Chain A
Amino acid sequence: MSTRRRPAAPRSSSSGMTENEKKILGFVRSKQGMGATKYEITGGTSIQQALVTKATTSLKKSKLIKEVSNKGGKHFLAVEFEPCKELQGGDWYVDGALDVSMIEDLKEICVNILERLKQKVVTLEVICSCFQKASRDEYKLSRDQTKVILDNLVLDNVIMEVKSNRSSEHSALRIGEVCYKLIGKKSGGGEARDGAFASIPCGACPHIGLCTPDGAISPTTCVYYQKWLGI
């Protein structure tokens, strides 16, 4: 009998892999740019940690997955994906978590700029230049970053985006150039009205689907009604 070892079969992305490796690769691919830690892989695939370690080592060797480290730990990504911003500690993430307070601070600065310049028409460039003059380095935003903050304020319904037209207000701008205004009557857009439905307990109620006239949750027994009516 020959004792010569057969040469190792060439590995493709799907062939020559064990079942565990296939499962883990599929799971990691599903996480795209976020990747997955060993803990998440164990929980998501129900494969024992030791087997996960063996499989990930094998997949790394086959260059099917790669490892990205940050303060949150090691993450495995499929090679075809780039690590997303939070893994890289990108624009709005710190230590893998969204920096909500910084975002809120930046939004407040934008609102203050618009408030100060409310007699004028404010373009993205104007706001950008204000940020560039900021004393704190982390507040020196790029054009793209400033746009993200402004877009978020538009979604908050705090500011509005308008395109300049031929009116006297926009005379210094090119027609069609985007500019920003605070929302409010004086700015010409008015404020969104408070909804009639939202102003009663049923509008805010998370259990409206369970509420029935004679049920356990009903208008006669409702605690939100009790509170609203001042009982």
Chain B
Amino acid sequence: MTTTEFGIVYAVHIITSHFGSVASKVCECLLRRGPLSSREISRLAESDINHTKVKDILYLLIQHNCVQAFSIEPPDGSESKATVQYIALFSNILHRARYNKFSKVVNEELGSQCSGVLDGLLSNGRLTLEQLIDRDRDSKKQMGSEAIRDSLQKLVAARFVERVPSPEPVLGNKDEGPAQKKRGAKASKIFKEPESLDERILEAATPVDAIRFPFIFEQGSSSTVADDDSNISEGKRKQPEVDYTSGPSNEVIWRPNFEELIRRLRHKACVEMVKERRDEGCANVMKAMLEVGRSQEKKAKTDKSVQMSMGSIYEELIKTDAGREMTQERVEACLEQLSATSSYLPAFVIESDGSYIVDFKSIISVAQKDEMESVVMRRYGKEAFRMFRYLSQEDRFVETDKIADAALTEKKDTPQILLKMWKDGYLHMQKLAVTGVYMPFLLWKVNKLVVSRQMLDEMYHASLNLSLRLTHETDSEKELLLLPMEKLEGALKERRNKYRAKSVLLTSARFKLDDAIMLFHDF
């Protein structure tokens, strides 16, 4: 999905809050105009920023994984050098607003020491082991270098942390275009969706798994492997050339692996959805299935999991306390429930010859539908809600009067309700002119992709609003906040409590809204 207008505004707001207005101008330039060289940014950015400053900001944004550099191979035979260009990583910018969620995922799975190390990488963007140890020495609660190293090892093994990608990958200059359809009966199966430039750049920058998640720590060794590809080969370990206490130029640079962190959040959201719509038992089974299939997921946004047997699901399930309380019959009953389809809920699991597949797309679509329908109900009312649900079910163009009949609404009021939803982008409308008929017929449809995009834009807008309002409330009580809480009495104490309540409400609302944003953008 291409970035929406308020997506850009929100991303720029995050960059402004974290790095200042000059950095946000560079970022905005990239977000609005696409890949640019540093000279182009200097020329095009609002209130011309000199080239040196632009480069400094780009390095800062690269450090924090918000920008990726790349170059395109010059044409064959050309003597010109490849120009380095930069793209803004929109998703990574949004991730900055959810670092505490990532921290929580790691804390739950690997413990507080690992989440402490991850916090270091999240706040600094990317660090070497040495830098992590130095950081720990300066902190109040020191973990010690051994603990840091062990934690980093666990994080890499669990793929929460990765080696940084290639700083300037080179893309081929050939216009690959859409993949050619091969002739033959199987053509439709091998047709591949054309990759966007962003996807090509990220794919080119990402090293193979063995390099990306190297097993680098030997037992009893105090060294890390040098950050040199020739030393990293799958299954082999070489005696490192450089001790970890030496300069950073030879060390592996680590950063958070957002793909894995988002995958875990996606899995969590799926388990939560199953718990709400089915029951605890089904949620436990779903959790086990996700665990079984996780290592084989090629990308975070996969539609379906791999096939798994009842046996493998049960084996995983009984590793947990809650799972051990479930008999095989109960698990089979849960799987049957999860595979059942009704007009109300689609199947969350696909059963095929005794194997089971998790249908992520189906689970996520139910959650998205809930969000959409809630907004329609609150914004336009009950009658609009019925019409919207009817059109979503029909998934085709329907004429106004037919909608009124199905939704049992007054025929004369129905057009106004439909028009309101259409004006805000929640319905698609077509006019059908018929010869001899004075006025054209109006036909209506819910286009889920268009509505999703519209909602996502509004959610970015709302998240921005929540942040701005919190800033406004904080600024309004700037002086009061400087006073120590214990010394406040009477009206001042009440005001301070009121501020606190507002702050908690705004922050928690933004936290929950971010879950909804991930539902539409990341999951």
Q: Report the minimum CB–CB distance from B305 to chain A (whole Å).
A: 22
Specify which of B342, B409, B420, B458 is in contact with A197 (CB 8 Å cutoff): B458
Interface residue A205 (Cβ < 8 Å from any Cβ of B) = yes
Point out the residues of chain B lying under 8 angstroms from A204, CB to CB.
Answer: 375, 378-379
CA of A157 to CA of B369, assembled, Å: 12
Let me know if A155 and B407 touch, CB within 8 A: yes
By size class, the interface of chain B is 35 or more
> Given A195-B374, A220-B469, A203–B379 Cβ distance below 8 Å?
yes
Q: Are A208 and B343 in contact (CB under 8 A)?
A: no
Are B342 and A190 in touch, CB under 8 angstroms? no
**Selected contact of B438 from candidates A27, A33, A208, CB within 8 Å:** A27
Stretch at the interface among A53-61, A110-118, A146-154: A146-154
Contacting pair B513 A197 (CB below 8 A): yes
Q: For B396, what are the chain A residues with a Cβ–Cβ distance below 8 Å?
A: none
B374 touches A162 (CB 8 A): no
Q: Is the interface of B mostly helix, strand, loop or mixed?
A: helix
Instruction: Report the minimum CB–CB distance from A191 to chain B (whole Å).
Output: 8
Among A103, A185, A200, which residue has the most Cβ atoms of chain B within 10 A? A200
Residues of A in contact (CB 8 Å), total 64
Q: Are B276 and A193 in contact (CB under 8 A)?
A: yes
> Which residue from chain B places its CB closest to the CB of A34 in the assembled complex?
B411
Q: Which of B344, B466, B506 contacts A160 (CB 8 A)?
A: B344
The answer to the question of B492 belonging to the interface, with a C-beta cut-off of 8 Å to chain A, is no
Task: Write the B256-292 contact mask toward A (1 if CB under 8 angstroms, else 0).
Answer: 0000000000000000000011110000000000000
Question: Does the CB pair A192–B370 fall under 8 Å?
Answer: yes
Question: Is the Cβ of A203 less than 8 Å from the Cβ of B378?
Answer: yes
Q: Smallest CB-CB separation from B337: which chain A residue?
A: A188
A195 close to B468 (CB less than 8 A): no
How many angstroms between the C-alpha atoms of A45 and B438 in the bound complex? 9
Which of B278, B337, B379, B501 has a CB less than 8 Å from the CB of A205? Answer: B379
Judged by a CB distance under 8 angstroms, whether B398 is at the interface is no
| Residue A202 is within 8 A (CB to CB) of chain B in the complex | yes
Q: Which one, A23, A157, A222, contacts B389 given CB within 8 A?
A: A157
Known: A202-B465, A203-B379, A213-B464. A196 touches B277 (CB 8 A): no
Decide if B437 touches A30 in the complex (CB within 8 Å). yes
* A68 interface hit (Cβ, 8 Å): no
Are B439 and A208 interface neighbours, CB within 8 A?
no
C-alpha gap A97/B9 in the complex (Å): 47
For the complex formed, measure the closest distance between the CB of A142 and the CB atoms of chain B, giving whole angstroms. Answer: 16
Candidate in B372, B437, B505, B506 with the most chain A CB atoms within 10 angstroms: B437
Residues of B whose CB lies within 8 Å of any CB of A are: 9, 276-279, 336-337, 340, 342-345, 367, 369-375, 377-379, 382, 385-386, 389-390, 401, 406-411, 420, 424, 436-439, 455, 458-459, 461-462, 464-466, 468-469, 472-473, 498, 501-502, 505-506, 509, 512-513, 515-516
A sample of 30 inter-chain contacts (CB < 8 A) reads A14-B436, A23-B438, A26-B438, A29-B436, A30-B437, A32-B401, A92-B408, A98-B408, A156-B385, A157-B389, A160-B343, A161-B343, A189-B342, A190-B278, A192-B374, A195-B371, A195-B378, A196-B509, A197-B455, A197-B459, A199-B509, A202-B461, A203-B374, A204-B378, A208-B461, A211-B465, A213-B464, A219-B466, A219-B472, A229-B502
